[in-house]
Amino acid sequence: MKSKLSLVLVLLMLPMALFAAGQQEAESGSEAGLKKISAVFDRILTEENGQKEWAAAFEELTGTKIDIVKPVHNQYSQILGATFATGDLPDLVEIQTNDYLSYAKSGNLVPLEDYIDKSTELKAVNRDLLEAYRLKDGHIYGVPTYNGGGCVTYIRKDWLDNLGLDVPTTWDEYYNVLRAFTEDDPDGNGVNDTMGLTLPFQTGFEFDYYNRFIMQDAMFGFQEKNGVWVDGFLEPAMKTALARFNKLYEEGYLDNEFFTNKTSTARSKIYEGQAGVMEYWSGTWAVRFNDSAKNSNPGAEVISIEPIAEAFYINRVGPAFSITKAAKNPEAVFDTFINTMLDEGEGQTLFTHGIEGKHYTMDGGKYVMMPEPANPDRPFDKAYSDPTLIMNGWEPLVPLTDLIVRSRTIHKANAIQLSLPQGGETYIKRVGELLTLKQEIFSQAVTGALTPAQAQAEYKNKAAALELDKVLAELNM
């Protein structure tokens, strides 16, 4: 009986002892420097591609262990939201652009402006890029994961050459190229099997990153115009943009299935020579478009082009790194992680290219990225930070290809910086429904079920019931 009682006591004491030990470790950690960071990341390497090795290299470099959770990309937003909802906060999180406002206003994030000001590493980063994350309350709750970047237009150069056409520089020339790609057999196979422009239907506010040649100065989402926030869908520019969409759709120059296109479907249409133009992300995609098109047809050539005279590209506010209130020593987290990421040395190399011998290697005196274990036909393009979107002017070890440099240069020279709409309670409550309403009315205008004027009138009418006025008032507060 006595021995049984002892056993029960030991079993009862064991978890308490373990808990106490854990507490002690955590406390000593906070006193003697940062022992561990718990993090939830989106775009970091997958385990198959060496995430654990990357974390070990980070620990070796900084002396701080990092526990990484990486939810699947297409459910990242929901999983991170659920993590916060349960109150189980990590120290450090990557927050997607569209979610930043909700998290920043949630009271769960630590203001970072003091750490930013103290950081010597961040001095080299364009201040406007950092200021894009400042809320109306005066605090900055996130540091960009990279320079936002954006989309450029890719075009089948070989099709232009086949038809004796130049790269379009105006809307009329662009329209003529789309017409010719659709009607004049640009691939010369004698079959009417091509179309001018393909695109995926973007269901979020990403819509404005794309379709710039048709949208021109119109914006689908909320936009800041002369210092005042307005709903882009109700602006005069949107009326003419809708008319252009409708014209291209009805004439068959725009992919007639773009409402059901996923981004992968639209990209395949470029690769396989079904469509000649698509707007997509600048950077590594410039190589992928060209290489994949060449795989289908060795004579294919896909290039990025300057915007037409009437249009511009968009530089988005990129995803942010934020530190939560769960971090016992947020300044140490900032120093250890953010400053290492931008140290222009070993840290930035680790963040950008990964580990030598695992992610990159030396070949004939030059650094080259190694093939991904998950997809051996493809070399790694990054470990975490995109080498084509470096914020602090650091020169990556692995040189960028001409196609990447071209797309980035074109984008950088022609992009305007978007800012984050900062609404209040009503904005957060209504933004989803307003977006749905816009998408529906937009699709009706494109297919011709509504004229552009009717579309705007209908939106105005229905958006009023969704408190659009209050939403705009909050944005302009």
Partner 1 sequence: MQRKAAMARSGSLNPDKYRLWNRVYKYRMFYLLMLPGFVYLVLFRYLPMLGLRYAFFDYDLRGVGDFIGFEHFKDAFTSEGFIRAFRNTLILSSANIVIQMTLTITISLLLNELKNQVFKKFVQTVVYLPHFLSWVVVGALFTLILSRQGGLVNMFLESTGQELKYFLGDVKLWRGTYLFILSWREVGWGTVIFLASLSGIDPQLYEAALMDGANRWKQMIHITIPHLVPVIVIVLIMNLAKIFNLFESVFVLYNPLVYKVSDVIQTYVYRSGIAEFRFGYATAVGLFRSVIAFVLVMTANRAAKLIRGESVL
CA distances (Å), origin 141, targets 109, 123, 406 = 6, 17, 33
What whole-number distance in Å separates Cα of residue 135 and Cα of residue 464? 26
Instruction: Specify the stretch interacting with partner 1 by CB under 8 A; choose among 101-109, 155-163, 178-186, 357-365.
Output: 101-109
**What are the tokens at 137?**
């309350």
Residue 465 binds partner 1 (CB under 8 A): yes
Can residue 432 be called a binding residue for partner 1 (CB under 8 A)?
A: yes
Is residue 222 packed enough to be buried (19+ CB in 10 Å), middle (13-18) or exposed (0-12)?
buried
Going from the C-alpha of 184 to that of each of 178, 179, 194, 271, 416, the distances in angstroms are: 10, 8, 9, 19, 35
Residue 462 vs 470, nearer CB to partner 1: 462
CB of 106 to partner 1, least distance (A): 4
Q: Is 299 in the site for partner 1 (CB under 8 A)?
A: no
* Contact status: 162 vs partner 1 (CB under 8 A): no
Q: Residues 371 to 390: which contact partner 1 by CB under 8 A?
A: none
Question: Would you count residue 262 as binding partner 1 (CB under 8 A)?
Answer: yes
Task: Please give the radius of gyration of the chain, using alpha carbons only, rounded to the nearest integer.
Answer: 25
Q: Does 192 bind partner 1 (CB under 8 A)?
A: no
Q: Which is nearer to partner 1, 24 or 78 (CB)?
A: 78
| Cα distances (Å, whole numbers) of residue 174 to 169, 210, 239, 243 | 7, 16, 19, 15
User: How far is the C-alpha of 363 from the C-alpha of 356, rounded, in Å?
Assistant: 12
β pairing state of 275-281 and 195-197 = parallel
Q: Output the smallest distance, CB 443 to partner 1, in A.
A: 4
Distance CA 41, CA 67 (A): 10
Nearer to partner 1, 255 or 335 (CB): 255
CB atoms within 10 A of CB 152: 28
Alpha-carbon distance values, 406 to 279, 284, 303, 311, 400 (Å): 15, 11, 9, 18, 10
439 is a site residue for partner 1 (CB under 8 A) = yes
Q: Closer to partner 1 at the Cβ: 389 or 437?
A: 437
> Among candidates 259, 201, 207, 255, which has minimal Cα distance to 232?
207
Strand-pair category, 151-156 with 302-305: antiparallel
User: Which listed range, 43-51, 97-105, 177-185, 286-294, lies at the site for partner 1 (CB under 8 A)?
Assistant: 97-105
Interface characters, 67-86, with partner 1 (x: CB under 8 A): ----------xx--x--xx-
Write the interaction track for partner 1 spanning residues 441-460; mark x where CB under 8 A is met and - where it is not: -xxx--x-------------
Q: Which stretch binds partner 1 (CB under 8 A): 99-107, 124-132, 136-144, 467-475?
A: 99-107
Q: How far is the CB of 439 from partner 1 (least distance, A)?
A: 4
Q: Binding residues for partner 1, how many (CB under 8 A)?
A: 37
From the list 145, 320, 219, the residue with the least C-alpha distance to 210 is 219
107 lies in the binding site for partner 1 (CB under 8 A): yes
Judged by CB under 8 A, does residue 409 bind partner 1? Answer: no
Give least dist CB 361 to partner 1, A: 36
Which one of 105, 156, 316, 411 is in contact with partner 1 (CB under 8 A)?
105
Report if residue 325 touches partner 1, rule: CB under 8 A: no
Q: Does the footprint of partner 1 cover residue 99 (CB under 8 A)?
A: yes
Pairing type for strands 92-95 and 320-323 reads antiparallel
Minimal CA–CA distance to 273: which of 195, 372, 353? 195
For residue 5, count other CB atoms closer than 10 A to its CB: 9
> From the CB of 218, what's the least distance to partner 1, in Å?
17
- Please name the amino acid found at residue 411: H
| Contacts to partner 1 from residues 263-292, by CB under 8 A | 265, 274
Q: Please report, as ranges, the residues that interact with partner 1 according to CB under 8 A.
A: 77-78, 81, 84-85, 87, 99, 102-103, 105-108, 201, 203, 256-257, 259-260, 262, 265, 274, 428-429, 431-433, 435-436, 439-440, 442-444, 447, 462, 465
